[in-house]
Amino acid sequence: MRQLKKVIKEAINDAGIKKALDQEGVVIRWGEFVGKKISSVSTAERASAGILVVRVDTSAWRQELHLQKEEIIKNINKKFGSKVIKEIRFI
């Protein structure tokens, strides 16, 4: 089983799709990165070229998340061990 895991990782790296898969992982795991309270008022919609787009329910929350943006990016990239996200756009 360990051998298969290694082969899959190598195939992903060789195909050049690791970054795209990691970015999709951010979208899927948004709630894990920001917690229940923030994920209850926001939804990660998509990520491409290092830019994460997040829909926010209210302008007040959009402003709050904008203030926390750098910390959220830092947390995401730390968990992935690489610079997966460089910018977040709150809409």
**What confidence tens digit (pLDDT) does each residue in 37-91 have?**
999 999 999 999 999 999 999 999 999 999 999 999 999 999 988 899 999 999 9
Report pTM. 0.82
The confidence score (pLDDT) of residue 15 equals: 60
Side-by-side strand order, sheet with 51-56: 42-48, 51-56, 87-90
Among 53, 51, 50, smallest CA distance to 42 is for 53
The confidence score (pLDDT) of residue 85 equals: 96
